Amino acid sequence: MRVITGSARGRKLKTLDSLDVRPTADAVKEAMFSIIQFEIEQASVLDLFAGSGQLGIEALSRGAKHCVFVDSSADSVAVVKENVNACRFSDRARIVRMDSIEYLKAAKSGIDIALLDPPYRRSLIERSLPLLEKILSGGAFVICEHETELTLDDEIGELKLHKRYRYGKVSLTVYRKQSEDEKD
């Protein structure tokens, strides 16, 4: 697993050997960041269910201003810290060991891009999206990586389906929150 592009391009990242940590394939990660390529510069990013931190680190490498990494596992948080430090992003990162749903209940607004790649088949995306919507900036993007069998709703509060993508057994569902200018 490596950083694909940007200031940390080619940097190898550590991961955990666990059934709950499933690194995003490079092709899916490349597609994910192509979707938001014009939104990433100076964005505030949330890497929810961070695992190894690879998605948030990719965002920072591509010019995101700041990233909050959230994971409930002490082992995952340790790997995220190691990877963030190895990429020299510690000044632009906040790493939180906390249940992701509980984090969303307490979080402050201002997130421009949220990256969700939770363990599959636990309804974590469905539980996260209504809470996440409240902390997003207008115009924010949410990218959910999930098993292809899962079909997420087209609308969740102010989040509107932007597009769906399928990559073999993995799907991406992308939402966008309307900005104030776009509302009726």
What range does the domain containing 164 cover?
26-182
Q: pLDDT class for 183, splitting at 50, 70, 90?
A: low
pLDDT at residue 132 is higher than 60: yes
Using left for φ > 0, alpha for ψ between -120 and 50, and beta otherwise, residue 119 falls in beta
* 15 domain-assigned: no
pLDDT at residue 63 is higher than 60: yes
Q: pLDDT class for 147, splitting at 50, 70, 90?
A: very high
Query: Domain count of the chain?
Result: 1
Question: 56, 70, 51: which is closest to 8 by C-alpha?
Answer: 56
Decide if 81 contacts 93 (C-beta within 8 A): no
Q: Are strands 170-177 and 136-147 parallel, antiparallel or unpaired?
A: antiparallel
Average pLDDT over residues 125-154: 94
Specify the pLDDT at position 184. Answer: 56
pLDDT at residue 171 is higher than 60: yes
CATH number of the CATH domain containing 30: 3.40.50.150
pLDDT at residue 181 is higher than 90: no
pLDDT at residue 2 is higher than 80: yes
Distance CA 44, CA 150 (A): 27
Distance CA 74, CA 68 (A): 16
Tell me which of 142 and 180 has the higher pLDDT: 142
Specify the pLDDT at position 5. Answer: 86
pLDDT at residue 29 is higher than 90: no
* 1 domain-assigned: no
* 18 domain-assigned: no
* 5 domain-assigned: no
Neighbours of 34 (CB within 10 A): 10
Average pLDDT over residues 35-40: 93
* 9 domain-assigned: no
Specify the pLDDT at position 18. Answer: 60
